[in-house]
Structure 1
Amino acid sequence: MISKSEIVRQLASNIDVEQLADNNLHIAVMRNPYLNFILDGSKTVESRLSKKKIIPYEAVAEGDYILLKKTGGPIVAISTVEKYWYYQNPDINWCKEKFNSLVLGSDKYWEQKQDAKYASFFLLSEVTKIQPIVIRKRDGRPWVVVS
């Protein structure tokens, strides 16, 4: 289990952690190039599409914080959720048309998501690079709500 208090303690050297007290904290595991796109500001919306109703669907709210963790690596940034959108049984072509200029998904990405039954989109703001935080996360979950 990943402890919120331990993460907050480690974040204290990076940001003003008092702002984290009243909001949910999430870890999003990300691959490149998408992580780098967020860090350089070209990608402003994170998307998660799945066949099953799994987190983060309906688990993220405005003002929540998302820690950005590199696949197989450390947490390297934190961001705030400015806005979110959830869709059940989404029209993936519509989602691509509406969000892809912000998501920067490849055609292959959208093709792989054609069978998705749940779609979550998060407008990220205040993306801040931090000193890397190494956590022990051995499961395959791409998203974790930290408690």
Structure 2
Amino acid sequence: MNQNTIVQDEAYTYDGFGNRKQIIKTKDGLSTTITADYNAANQLTRFGDETITYDANGNQTEDGEYQYEWNEADQLVAITRKGESTPFVTYKYDEDRRRIQKNVNGVVMNYHYQGDSLNVVRVKCLWEEGKPSFGSRGVLELREDEHLRQKFFRGTITKNV
């Protein structure tokens, strides 16, 4: 395939609010149309065959693949695949409503804050059998995200970083 080959053509239609109502995909002369519906609050309620639902606060609770769980502060706390009972993603928050942990399939990302700063220091580690696993060399990785730059620090578990 050369760089000028069209693999698929897509056309879109929108409603008066700018919501995408229809996607028409054309490939090899065959067209497929996907439609979308919205409720009075302008929330997507159907996309193709997928139904999307919301709670009374407007938080998305289900789509075609996942179920979403929210806490009383409207913060996402868990994502579960449809048909399963155990979440594969969980989130924890502190008393200041800041996210302090994300766990995706056992890979835990802890977030540590420096006072009221928006700069987040994140510690990433994988938990195995209830204990942190830091890789083959016992390396703990800290990453401090700042406004326009990132710094990466590496050190052993026993060393203060």
Q: Which has the larger radius of gyration?
A: 2
Task: Give the TM-score normalised by structure 1.
Answer: 0.23
Q: TM-score, normalised by structure 2?
A: 0.22
* Higher RCO (CA 8 Å, separation ≥ 6 residues): 1
The structure carrying a bigger strand percent of its residues is 2
Larger helix fraction of residues: 1
